[in-house]
Chain A
Amino acid sequence: MDKFTTLTGIAAPMPLVNIDTDMIIPKQFLKTIQRSGLGKNLFDEMRYTQDGQEIPDFVLNQPAYRSAQILVAGDNFGCGSSREHAPWALLDFGIRCVISTSFADIFYNNCFKNGILPIVLPQDQVDILMADAKKGANARVTVDLAAQTVTSSDGQSFAFEVDPFRKHCLLNGLDDIGLTLEKAAAIDTFEKKVATLRPWA
């Protein structure tokens, strides 16, 4: 997993609420057995017509946002299916950070496993960043994970919360599985205990 420390980039505005993972990456692209290559199909049905032409109105098709690295989105982003293809597609497109008033639980989790930082901020602050994002390519938003701040293009800075363990993993690009395997002895002990307590399990 790539480290996430600081990021300064173009933020694309997507004010729609309840953007679900079916929208982020429609099911026909879940047939892959790889993690990479999904970026071209990110938001596929919103981004292309049935015959594969770009829909010019869609935000990521607009010249200003084609290399966006941040999304500022409406409430409850990432709801629906657990498909990790959603963060894979975002990452493959180049998005490293999503800002919203709330995220669906599984999607939120999946982001951290892939070096994407989901940031929850109150409505008024998201509104300010949304307005900032609408200014286009000159408006660069800065995210500093160590300091836990997001700064708009005109210098307004907002603090955000992040779980310390997740922050640590993201800052250092750590693999969860490796960390857990260091606790193998504790897992062994637990299994032995359960074998007598709940032998049917």
Chain B
Amino acid sequence: MTAPRTLYDKIWDDHVVHQAEDGTCLLYIDRHLVHEVTSPQAFEGLRMTGRTVRAPEKTIAVPDHNVPTTAGRDKHIDNEESRIQVEALDKNAKDFGINYYPVSDIRQGIVHIVGPEQGWTLPGMTVVCGDSHTATHGAFGALAHGIGTSEVEHVLATQTLIQKKSKNMKVEITGSLRPGVTAKDITLSVIGATGTAGGTGYVIEYCGQAIRELSMEGRMTVCNMAIEGGARAGLIAPDEKTYQYVMGRPHAPKGAKWEAALAYWKTLFTDEGAHFDKVVTIKGEDIAPVVTWGTSPEDVLPITGVVPAPEDFTGGKVEAAKRSLDYMGLTPGMKLTDIAIDTVFIGSCTNGRIEDLRAAAAILKGKKIKVKRAMVVPGSGLVRAQAEEEGLAQIFIDAGFEWRLAGCSMCLAMNPDQLAPGERCAATSNRNFEGRQGRGGRTHLLSPAMAAAAAITGHLTDVREMMSEQV
């Protein structure tokens, strides 16, 4: 009998091509996602060495980071460097014969939204991308993580990656979430509890009733931010919801292959008694809607809280908190709900899916925004089309939001969507680092519903108050 294994152990074991004596493994990669910012040097490397892409049929490319989210971008991109990167991807996709969704394709969008949407991401697979939020795909029970450009080149050339196995960590969210609390609040609360380095060296498996109760979209939100907790990857065991989501997608298996796949997927769970090196348990009932106050995703507090003081921390965090408060322009003791917001950004691979737009629209319906600007950037062209069909787009527009084309946009502000110095933003994205959304820009991370609430009141707001209004 084999020893009980975790989900991570199982996927890992099924992908080892070769294991060296010191434990370094050559791991086979089932899906390689590619975008325009971290790939040009890798393709250039292939050309210089006369190498080819080993498995172009398993390689999927889409421009997302750099693309403007305004009309006309399929004809012309003003910023020359951005245009060169997008054109380079167009050319590389063509020259190397890989699957490609150009800007002009309605299926274009953020790489981590497109992969699942098109059925490329399947349970039990290994998925990599030159992007740290590849962790998103772990929601399907796929081992998915970000890699650097040298590794992108390595995967292109060999369809493998040199890896050492990480340790196993279990994050269990017991019970159910309270109304107004979402997947985003779970994932931020976990980082708040473990710190941004708490997951370093681990692959996290999220489990527990509250996780099971999440939709696939919510699960993607949770896994997306595993990287913000420092983990190599986040995983959730596949179940009926997973199979339902995957079934019928363009690149999902069909017929006999579907049956075979399903039988295999049903073996993908952590065995009873399998060993975890670290376990974190959080009660679902204890999670409140949260926001970040500082410049690290671990700077998380319930919306009912107050801005902390540097003395509340220890070690290196004291200095970091001082610097954060200064950068964020906040005074200790101030109520979080008194923080005035200039801009609201709804989008990103964390919260740019249809369910996120529905959650925000539910709060916004029939209301007007009080912030200076607010934008929705759907995660893909298909999400955008669906939101238009469902009437969500009109709700956003009527409320005063800009309704944009798909892309990463103000999540990292490489395109023209940027904050001005000192401008304060409530964002559904995943990083509140200094300068992330534009030099000097101030970011508060929160859920789509909370972002919508802030848009209406003009300051950070406990969405639960608005929900009781609605009943």
A and B associate in one complex:
yes
A106 touches B414 (CB 8 A): no
C-alpha gap A6/B8 in the complex (Å): 38
B414 touches A187 (CB 8 A): no
The reply to whether the CB of A40 lies closer than 8 angstroms to some CB of chain B is no
Q: Min CB distance, B368 to chain A, in Å?
A: 32
Inter-chain contacts of A105 with B (CB < 8 A): 200-201, 230-232
The reply to whether the CB of A199 lies closer than 8 angstroms to some CB of chain B is yes
* Proximity bits, A98-111, B CB within 8 Å = 1, else 0: 00001111100110
Question: Which residue, of B37, B84, B85, B439, has the highest number of chain A Cβ atoms within 10 A?
Answer: B37
Comparing B17-25, B109-117, B284-292, B340-348, the segment that makes contact with chain A is B17-25
Comparing A20-28, A56-64, A89-97, A147-155, the segment that makes contact with chain B is A20-28
A176 touches B260 (CB 8 A): no
Q: Min CB distance, A114 to chain B, in Å?
A: 7
Q: Residue on A with the closest CB to B435?
A: A45
The reply to whether the CB of A134 lies closer than 8 angstroms to some CB of chain B is no
The reply to whether the CB of B26 lies closer than 8 angstroms to some CB of chain A is yes
* Proximity bits, B3-35, A CB within 8 Å = 1, else 0: 000000000001001101010101010100000
Q: Residue on A with the closest CB to B31?
A: A201
C-alpha gap A53/B319 in the complex (Å): 25
Closest 6 CB pairs of A and B: A200-B253, A113-B150, A31-B81, A17-B316, A33-B40, A84-B148
Inter-chain contacts of B260 with A (CB < 8 A): 198-200
Interface residues contributed by chain A, number (CB under 8 Å): 55
Tell me which residues from 144 to 201 in chain A have a Cβ below 8 Å from any Cβ of chain B. 163-165, 176-177, 180-181, 183-184, 186-187, 190-191, 194, 198-201
Interface residues of B (CB under 8 A from A): 14, 17-18, 20, 22, 24, 26, 28, 30, 37-38, 40-41, 44, 49, 51, 54, 65-66, 79, 81-82, 84-85, 88, 122, 124-125, 130-132, 145-151, 153-154, 157-160, 162, 164, 196-197, 200-201, 230-232, 253, 257-258, 260-261, 264, 296, 315-317, 319-320, 323, 412-414, 421, 431, 433-436, 439-440
Q: Residue on A with the closest CB to B232?
A: A105
Q: Min CB distance, A96 to chain B, in Å?
A: 16
Q: Residue on B with the closest CB to A20?
A: B433
Q: A104-B197, A186-B26 provided; 12 other pairs, C-beta below 8 A?
A: A15-B316, A18-B196, A23-B435, A31-B84, A33-B84, A35-B149, A76-B197, A84-B148, A105-B201, A109-B151, A177-B51, A177-B157
B434 touches A45 (CB 8 A): yes
Q: Which of B49, B122, B150, B230 contacts A201 (CB 8 A)?
A: B122
C-alpha gap A30/B35 in the complex (Å): 12
B66 touches A33 (CB 8 A): no
Q: Min CB distance, B167 to chain A, in Å?
A: 11
A194 touches B200 (CB 8 A): no
B257 touches A110 (CB 8 A): no
Q: Which of B85, B146, B320 contacts A31 (CB 8 A)?
A: B85
Tell me which residues from 33 to 86 in chain A have a Cβ below 8 Å from any Cβ of chain B. 33-35, 45, 50, 74-76, 79-84
